[in-house]
Amino acid sequence: MNDLQTLKGLGPKRREALLQAGITTLEDLLNHLPKGYLFAQEPTPIARVTVGEACVEGIVQAAPTLSYFGGRSMVRARVMDASDSISLTWFNQPWMAKQLLKGQRITLYGLAQRRQNALNLLNPQIIHDKGIIPQYAPLPGLPGKVFSSFVLQALDKVAISTKESLPDSFLREHRLISRYQAWQSSHQPRNMEDLAQARRRLGFENLLLYQLAIRQAGPQGQAGPKLVNAKATAEDFWTKLPFAPTGAQRNTLSQIAQDMGTGQALRRLVQGDVGSGKTAVAFGAAVCAISNGYQCALMAPTELLARQHHENAQKMLSPFGITCGLLTGSMKAAQRREALEGIADGSWQLVIGTHALISKDVRYHRLGLAITDEQHRFGVRQRQTLADRADHLVPHILALSATPIPRSLALVLYGDLQVSIMDELPPGRTPVKTRIVPQGKRDDLYQYIRTKALEGEQSYLVCPLIEDDEEADQEKQSAVALFHQLSKGPLKGIGMALTYGSQTEAEKEQALGEFYAGTAKVLVSTTVIEVGMDVPNATTMVIEDAENFGLAQLHQLRGRVGRGQKESWCFLLGEANERLSTLAKTNDGFEIAQKDLELRGPGEFLGTRQHGRMLNDFGVNDMKLIEETSACLMDLENNPVNKATYNLLSSLARDRYSHKLDQVGLH
């Protein structure tokens, strides 16, 4: 009874669409939760509608108008109730002009926006049956309405045969409804209370099993290289550098060295704000491993960052006589052969590179420490794959992340790692001043950048889009258009460079090379410069359409400036809102991350990363459930009474999630 073939209306193409989405059984279908809901139980009087989602009911005042501009269609109409009227707009939905008639009573649900001091309902849906209406993300070749019909069929078919996944005693202890009840209330919610209980039940189970799967992804408590005198080596490391470490740097490296001296494999994540000195700590850990005769590998997500690490390592580690090498995917055959030999025979003691480090033809020589930088861009399985390249050894694993994540959420993301937090900036780092700049002040801002360029300082201008898109709002600037506009206008005669994600490597390297060398005073780019750019002479960051970025990403971009001794500014072009105001008030990345989490919920906070997609699929939209399941997992692990339940849930976790962990964390 769990076979998709029992569904009516399921042809080969629709079946393939389900299979592509990982849906192979009726239970999979029911676990594919709505992406959201239309809360259309009771219409709001139009006079009381505010900005945000709204449901209204009224009379269509006149026949809709249909117009075209720039290849786009726009349908306009207006509805009125006893309290007021509101305008309606549909973009690229010309058929809506025929669906409304003058004098027709209609119920609508859409996003209310304020334009020119009047509210407008944007792309509203016509509501035929009031209530809480599930909204399913359309799959390629499978519209949302068809998917919804399959879900309703599945609910009927599994009602009798479905099995409960959790023990009854566990359900009672944690006040959870049955799985079937949760499915029914998720896909056919009668009221908000039923929906809340359903989301809690399914979210609790999914989160708990997910955390269990991550815990099991890497070896726990396994024997690793026992480093001799690691703590003393760590202390000596700082004395040979041209700068004094912060207390956070010294403490974190001491903690790492202590762990590496226990004989158990280190599994640790170092979270540090932009500029907190995580790389120096990683190099210190490498010195500890290498001084004990082990090799170390450092994997970075981009070639730019890998090359930068290689340059820094050669400078910082020269007093220790350590040989560093670089391995990337773009190397020519002869260079790659030389690199593979240096890695295999151990003459390269510290190997730095991109994903190329986990290629099958790479053979390490006593790999004792594997480091992944910008850990949020790698997956659990990728981290482990690098470690698995060590022959006959379980190496130490150190992960670095400059994306501050509140500790409670880090428990879910990095459940297989201990977490160290570096929340102190080195002396001499001048806090970046941040200001929200309205569109009307754009010309003044460009004049400021011109003045700074003539004084020898450099600036970044970051855009959210690569090329103009007729679907996008007209106010948005693309990197390409902005570059041409400024180079011919306000910044004419100033050296400029342009970089974006789809450029060839040669074009990208040329643009970044010009900026590093200082021949380009202004770099126009997309978010490709979010990590890996370290130009001390860059003192100004301008972010176009700043309201379109997440807070954490804005903070990362701001961290590209303020790396030298000169005063630095970050200008956020856009209208002030709570997120942008938070960024303008503080430079504390952890405070910013906590606020971002509160405003967007964990799924949206993590964005397009696999973690974020999974949390959204789980229906998890608050931190309480994450904290509750983390506490439950701790109790299951530490209380002998729960051993049978723990074993059962561990088996479920492996079946459900272990095959997905190779993608966790990737953008």
| Model pLDDT for residues 496-542, shown as the tens digit of each residue | 999 987 788 788 888 988 998 999 999 999 877 766 677 889 999 99
Q: What six digits make up the tokens of 206?
A: 């999914």
Q: What is the pLDDT of residue 661?
A: 57
Q: How many degrees, rounded to 5, is the angle at CA 572 between CA 525 and CA 120?
A: 105
CA–CA separation, 562 and 544 (whole Å): 19
Q: What six digits make up the tokens of 344?
A: 């295999």
Beta strands in 395-508 (DSSP E): 396-401, 418-422, 433-437, 458-462, 496-499
Residues written for the chain: 667
b/e burial code for range 80-106 (CB count within 10 A of at least 16 → b): ebeeebbebbbeeeeebbeebeeeeeb
Pairing of strands 522-525, 458-462: parallel
Q: Could you tell me which residues come within 8 angstroms of residue 547 by beta carbon, excluding any fewer than 6 positions away?
A: 574, 575, 577, 579, 580
Q: What is the pLDDT of residue 294?
A: 95
SS3 assignment for 91-130? ECCHHHHHCCCCCCEEEEEEEEEEECCEEEEEEEEECCCC
CA–CA separation, 155 and 402 (whole Å): 44
The Cα-based distances of 565 to 429, 457, 588 in angstroms read 7, 12, 19
CA–CA separation, 566 and 116 (whole Å): 41
665: phi > 0 → left, psi -120 to 50 → alpha, else beta; which? left
The H-or-E segment that residue 651 falls in is helix 643-657
Q: What is the pLDDT of residue 667?
A: 27
**Neighbour-count burial of 502, counting CB atoms closer than 10 A to its CB (0-12 exposed, 13-18 middle, 19+ buried):** exposed
Edge-to-edge strand list for the sheet holding 367-372: 324-327, 350-353, 295-299, 367-372, 396-401, 267-272, 418-422
**Neighbour-count burial of 469, counting CB atoms closer than 10 A to its CB (0-12 exposed, 13-18 middle, 19+ buried):** exposed
**H helix runs in 394-472, sequence order:** 407-413, 442-454
Q: What six digits make up the tokens of 330?
A: 């773009």
The H-or-E segment that residue 282 falls in is helix 278-290
CA–CA separation, 652 and 212 (whole Å): 9
Q: Residue ranges of the chain with pLDDT lower than 70?
A: 1-2, 160-161, 217-221, 375-384, 387, 389-391, 407-408, 410-416, 428, 465-477, 530-532, 600-623, 658-667
Q: What six digits make up the tokens of 134?
A: 């599930």
CA–CA separation, 92 and 67 (whole Å): 10
Tokens 């460079």 found at: 497
CA–CA separation, 504 and 510 (whole Å): 10
Catalogue all structural domains in the chain, each as residue range(s) with its CATH number: 1-35+145-163 (no CATH), 42-129 (2.40.50.140), 164-217+605-636+646-667 (no CATH), 230-422 (3.40.50.300), 433-586 (3.40.50.300)
Pairing of strands 367-372, 295-299: parallel
Cβ(606)–Cβ(420) under 8 Å? no
N- to C-terminal Cα distance for the chain?
A: 37
